[in-house]
Amino acid sequence: MRPVVGYYGYWVFLTYLGMVSSVTGIYFALGGNIGYAVICLMISGLCDMLDGPVARLKKRNEREKSYGIQVDAFADLISFGALPIVIGYAASPYINEPVSFVMVPHIAISAMYILAALIRLSYFNVIEIELQNKKEKRKYYEGMPVTFVAILIPLIYSLHICFNIDFFLMSKILLVVMSIAFVVKIKIPKLRGRQLLVFVAIGLPIIIYLLWNIRAKM
């Protein structure tokens, strides 16, 4: 009999690490350290890309596979649903003011975004379970993967630093666009290893730049 519930093997460690990184990012954002929060978002994105390949190194039973699908979706909802909303809120000019009608559109956008992410992740799980039952592999995504926000938010934050664009406004526009992209039934190829290379090629310079910028301000 197992002494604890859940699974704690190496094959699920990166999923847990990504979620911990996201919670850390939430604390950074609410403390006013948006640059660090953005880096935490990117770390979560990297963990999400690697957790699948790492999990496949272990010969898992059906219950372990189902657990991996479920826990990954829950972690993604925190990492790529809640954290981007908190980062956008932390950049808001109204953060230190009482909630008023001015904030209603922003609250609505945030609610729409996380609802779309929830629907997309739940739908992904349903299809993934069906594919596993049929012993088939996924060839493409239906709708934009939520992980994409882990590179898009850092990108517009870097543009904010370089060109002083309104990050709060741009983040809200991005959340609206991504909300639609999550639920629109478009086929996006599954890039596998190439997706990781693209993420590293774009993400690594952004992380270096953000760390350099943060250090320069100290």
- So what's the pLDDT on residue 26? 97
- So what's the pLDDT on residue 125? 92
Rounded mean pLDDT of the chain?
89
- For residues 138 and 195, give the distance between their C-alpha atoms in angstroms, rounded to a whole number: 15
| Residue 66 CB neighbour total at 10 angstroms | 15
Phi/psi at 98 (nearest 5 deg)? -60, 150
The three state secondary structure string of 93-158 is: CCCCCCCCHHHHHHHHHHHHHHHHHHHHHHHHHHHHHHHHHCCCCCCEEECCCHHHHHHHHHHHHH
- So what's the pLDDT on residue 1? 58
Q: Which residue has the higher pLDDT, 136 or 113?
A: 113
- So what's the pLDDT on residue 47? 93
How far is CA 11 from its chain centroid?
A: 19
Select from 116, 120, 147, 143 the least CA-distant residue to 44.
Answer: 147
In the chain the domains, ranked by start, together with CATH numbers, are: 10-217 (1.20.120)
- So what's the pLDDT on residue 81? 97
Lowest mean pLDDT among 132-136, 177-181, 197-201: 197-201
- For residues 29 and 83, give the distance between their C-alpha atoms in angstroms, rounded to a whole number: 9
- For residues 142 and 190, give the distance between their C-alpha atoms in angstroms, rounded to a whole number: 10
For the stretch 33-42, pLDDT in tens is 999 999 999 9
For the stretch 39-83, pLDDT in tens is 999 999 999 988 988 998 999 998 999 999 999 999 999 999 999
- For residues 142 and 183, give the distance between their C-alpha atoms in angstroms, rounded to a whole number: 8
Give the percent of the chain with pLDDT over 70.
Answer: 95
Q: Is the pLDDT of residue 99 over 80?
A: no
Tell how strand 140-142 and strand 187-189 pair up.
antiparallel
Give the percent of the chain with pLDDT over 90.
Answer: 60
The pLDDT-based confidence of 93 (bands split at 50, 70, 90) is confident
pTM exceeds 0.85: yes
Q: Is the pLDDT of residue 181 over 80?
A: yes
- For residues 174 and 149, give the distance between their C-alpha atoms in angstroms, rounded to a whole number: 9
Q: Is the pLDDT of residue 145 over 70?
A: yes
The set of residues, in sequence order, having a beta carbon less than 8 Å from that of 189 and lying 6+ positions away, is 139, 140, 141
The set of residues, in sequence order, having a beta carbon less than 8 Å from that of 103 and lying 6+ positions away, is 92, 94
